[in-house]
A = this chain, B = another copy of it.
Amino acid sequence: MPTEFEFIKRIRDQVRRRMSTSPGLVLGIGDDAAILRQESGRETLITTDLLVENVDFRLDYARPDWLGHKTLAVSLSDIAAMGGVPAFSMLTLAIPILSPDRESFWEDFFEGYFSLCERYQVTLVGGDISGTPGPLSLDSMVVGNVQSGHAVRRSGAKPGDAIYLTGSIGASATGLKLLFDGALVDTTEESLVQRALRAHLRPEPRVGYGRRVGAGSLANSMIDISDGLAQDLAHMCEESLVAAIVDYDTVPVADEAALVHQDEWQAFLFAISGGEDFELLLTADPKQEPALRESADQEGLRLTRIGEIVDAATASPASPLILRREGSLEPLPVRGFNHFGSKK
């Protein structure tokens, strides 16, 4: 069993082996602070996400490399949702003082973390490590860049905008349900169950698509699906002072959701309430649709038009969301909707 000191040294050595550099980096890990170059006409995006063991993940079903991937992915998704390009990251770890087999865990964790860094040319520039008498906590920060004025906010949705969604929703929530029911990851198998588990444990942030939307000023508002389509669309409506009509027939519910609900309506409700899809939800002038679709094609992503933004007065006071189903409109209640907006 290595001492705490030796253990932290090993983590640092692993980090140093994978350390990269990048054009905007002046000084990375090793001093009191990292130094990043600024450029006029550019804006910095900065976000942080905390993942706590037994709250946000469980070690009994987490694959360490996938956990490393997801730790970075959730913050990359935030930068994508702003239309920016991720560039730097920081990672702060509170590590349980007594945890077995730590060495191979962290090797695998950083394999997943740095593989995703390398895919998007993200450089780890700092962080902190402490022992803790409590659970493992992972605090992920990502710093990105965007051309001044091109960041896509939640608050820009306008009546008349169409609503678009990348990919599909509900696979991650399905995976979580299956994990709770005892399903195990088997990477040799390519089944619907395994795809659901992977969607939850190793989500793919839409970095390339977000960047294209920002660079081309293609959208009026954008958010990533972390709390579920219903909640995140409601957040967007609240921030934009608008309402949204969602066309029931168009919403791309993942095939995986059928593992939990065979009934189509139940599967729909499950999919729009489940979180952590990390798809991008955006609103745009319908004239931008060809450009939005071309960008999706270039990223190999499905893009679906799922509704439209309308005047706030169109909705009921209880929810800014309206469901259009079989030609009639009904309020769409947002389960657990947080009227105080997002955490950030």
CA distance A42 to B341 in the complex (A): 34
With A39-B40, A132-B134, A134-B137 already in contact, the answer to whether A341 and B30 are too (CB < 8 A) is: yes
Task: Quote the shortest CB–CB distance from A15 to chain B (angstroms).
Answer: 10
Chain B, Cβ-Cβ closest to A223: B32
Q: Within the oligomer, what is the number of copies of this chain?
A: 2
Closest to A126 in B: B344
- Report chain B residues within 8 Å CB of A128: 48-50, 139, 343-344
Interface centre among A39, A92, A144, A224, by most chain B C-beta atoms within 10 angstroms, is: A92
Interface size counted on chain A using CB atoms at 8 A: 78
Give the residues in chain B near A127, CB-CB below 8 Å: 48, 344
Contacts of A133 in B (CB 8 A): 54-55, 134-135
Contacts of A139 in B (CB 8 A): 48, 50, 92, 128, 139
Chain B residue, CB-CB nearest to A8: B343
Docked CA distance A56–B45 (Å): 30
Instruction: Type the 1/0 row for A280-299, where 1 means its CB is closer than 8 Å to any CB of B.
Output: 00000000000000000000
CA distance A84 to B34 in the complex (A): 11
Contact with B along A116-127 (1 / 0, CB 8 A): 000000000111
| Cβ contact within 8 Å between A141 and B90 | yes
A198 at the binding interface (Cβ < 8 Å): no
List the B side residues contacting A5 at CB < 8 Å.
Answer: 338
Q: Which residues of B sit under 8 angstroms from A22, Cβ to Cβ?
A: none
> How far, in angstroms, from A341 to B30 measured CA to CA in the complex?
7
Interface contact B153-A90, CB-CB below 8 Å:
no
Asked if A9 lies at the interface with its beta carbon under 8 angstroms from chain B, I say yes
Alpha-carbon distance A340/B13, docked complex (angstroms): 9
Q: How far is the CA of A50 from the CA of B342 in the complex (A)?
A: 24
Bound-state CA distance A240–B17 (Å) is 21
Instruction: Report whether A130 and B50 are in contact in the complex, using a CB–CB cutoff of 8 Å.
Output: yes
- Asked if A325 lies at the interface with its beta carbon under 8 angstroms from chain B, I say no
Whether A43 touches B47, Cβ cut-off 8 Å, given contacts A134-B135, A137-B94, is: no
Residues of B within 8 A of A146 (CB): 35
Task: Give the distance to chain B from A55, nearest Cβ to Cβ, in Å.
Answer: 6
18 contacts between A and B (CB under 8 A): A13-B340, A31-B82, A31-B239, A32-B77, A32-B81, A33-B142, A34-B344, A35-B82, A36-B44, A36-B46, A37-B44, A38-B42, A39-B40, A44-B143, A46-B88, A46-B143, A48-B92, A126-B344
Assuming A52-B130, A94-B134, what are 11 further A-B pairs, CB within 8 angstroms? A9-B338, A9-B340, A30-B239, A34-B344, A35-B151, A38-B148, A46-B88, A48-B141, A50-B94, A56-B130, A94-B137
Going nearest first, the 4 A-B pairs with the smallest beta carbon separation are: A134-B134, A38-B38, A33-B47, A40-B40
Name A's B-contacting residues (CB within 8 A): 5, 8-9, 12-13, 26-27, 29-52, 54-56, 77-79, 81-82, 84, 88, 90, 92-94, 125-135, 137, 139, 141-146, 148, 151, 153-155, 223-224, 239, 338, 340-344
